Amino acid sequence: MTSIPTVSFQAVEDLAARFPASFFWGAATSSYQVEGAVAEDGRGPSIWDDFSATPGKVADGQSGALAADHYHRYREDVALMARLGLNAYRFSVAWPRVLPEGRGAVNQAGLDFYDRLVDALLEAGIQPFVTLYHWDLPSVLEREGGWRVRSTAYAFADYAEVVTRRLGDRVLHWMTLNEPWCSAYLGYGVGVHAPGLRDRQAAVDAAHHLLLAHGLALPRMRAVLPAQAQIGTAQVLVKVYGADERPETQRDVALAHAFSNRWFLDPLYRGSYPEGLFAALGLKPPPIEEGDLELIAAPLDFLGVNNYSRMLVRGSPEPPLADQCRTVSPVPNACYTDMAWEIFPQGLRDLLLDVSRDYPVQRLYVTENGAAFPDEWDGGETVHDPRRVAYLASYISACAEALEQGAPLCGYFVWSLLDNFEWAEGYRKRFGIVYVDYASQRRVIKESGLWYAALLQAFRSRCR
């Protein structure tokens, strides 16, 4: 296996010089992964509370009940962001903290927390980028059918208006949904995420209702936000490559691309689902009603791209189901993260260029990109993580290449600010540029965080 090269701190000046002065440099988190305080100040339960409490669903029986205790330590965390030099922070609002029953009565104490967080960020000179849904659906709505039923989309639109009315005078960057592909397919199709269903048809129906929720929320949000506010959505996308030039490989690359990327991008930007996708899944189309696709395809101000790796496909003799294309894994001589995801920065560059070529995107943000490695803290002032330093340097260089080749990239958010609850992996996987000692909740900036801070310092120095 090839080694990852050491990255010199001196190289940051050259890298920083490749980005425009208006570029946003941030880090990202999500509510259930960092906040904790799941039963405090009126928060209701979410599907991830329920999923985590189900034996065998999460590694070591863990949950986000405490997580990184960001709910109580947000001021300390904002101070960390300022120390790192971030000019943006992407976080999500917990729907059950704002509307414990999913709809109806607003929990003012929950909104107050996000009020305080936004104010603290702005006081530190950090722009908040708010995601309204990062997978923590209120439990009561799941009992009514969750994303399988249309009513959840309307409940989301109500929730979106509540939050934007409260924070919209200060927050100018909004994302409706984070990775609805994961919410639908991983949550309802194969059951490895909450709510844990294994029903591929339910996944197709859930995907449509997630997109409908986005479409219903957009006009409600725009009606209360200032004209300069920007609304987008964050999609998990992957560049699909062929392992060879055989016709069956090219066929399966197109199939995997439709399933992994076009399933959500086509409705958002073309007002239609990829032709033949549902038949290629062996399933029925979702319950589309008149006007749904027009709502979903309303103009967006930006697209958030979450990317961690690539997909390498080798064609099968007979056409596979769209979610069962044969992939090459492990890739010979490749390097992998602790999540067993191949490190392939060119994939991010190619993906950004493809999206900007194939869809009418106004702006792109890399809203998540990062790597898990088995970090260990020896009690000192930092954590040695040279592989993450190399990872970030290579992927940020790929962003610079995409910019130089014409992609309208406006910002980059490393995943994640903090080590946190990594969904079904519990606390086994560490993505943070800041180490969290979960026993004491002490924060320790890793060498990757120091490298990122040096990059941002070089960026600011050049822009003065």
Catalytic positions, written as ranges:
179, 368
Cα separation, 192 vs 393, in Å, equals 31
* Cβ pair 301, 230 in contact under 8 A: yes
What are the φ and ψ backbone dihedral angles of 314, each rounded to 5 degrees?
-120, 120
- Mapped to the 3 state alphabet, what secondary structure does the chain carry? CCCCCCCCHHHHHHHHCCCCCCCEEEEECCHHHHCCCCCCCCCCCEHHHHHHCCCCCCHHHCCCCCCCCHHHHHHHHHHHHHHHCCCEEEEECCHHHHCCCCCCCCCHHHHHHHHHHHHHHHHCCCEEEEEEECCCCEHHHHHCCHHHCCHHHHHHHHHHHHHHHHHCCCCCEEEEEECHHHHHHHHHHCCCCCCCCCCHHHHHHHHHHHHHHHHHHHHHHHHHCCCCCEEEEEEECCEEEECCCCHHHHHHHHHHHHHHHHHHHHHHHHCCCCCCHHHHCCCCCCCCCCCHHHHHCCCCCEEEEECCCEEEECCCCCCCCCCCCCECCCCCCCCECCCCCECCCHHHHHHHHHHHHHCCCCCEEEEECCCCCCCCCCCCCCECCHHHHHHHHHHHHHHHHHHHCCCCEEEEEEECCECCCCHHHCCCCCCCCEEEECCCCEEEEEHHHHHHHHHHHHHHHHHC
Which one, of 464, 455, 460, lies nearest residue 14 by Cα? 455
Classify the C-alpha dihedral 60-63-65-70 as positive or negative.
positive
341: Cβ–Cβ under 8 A, 6 or more apart, which residues? 308, 309, 371
* Cβ pair 185, 203 in contact under 8 A: yes
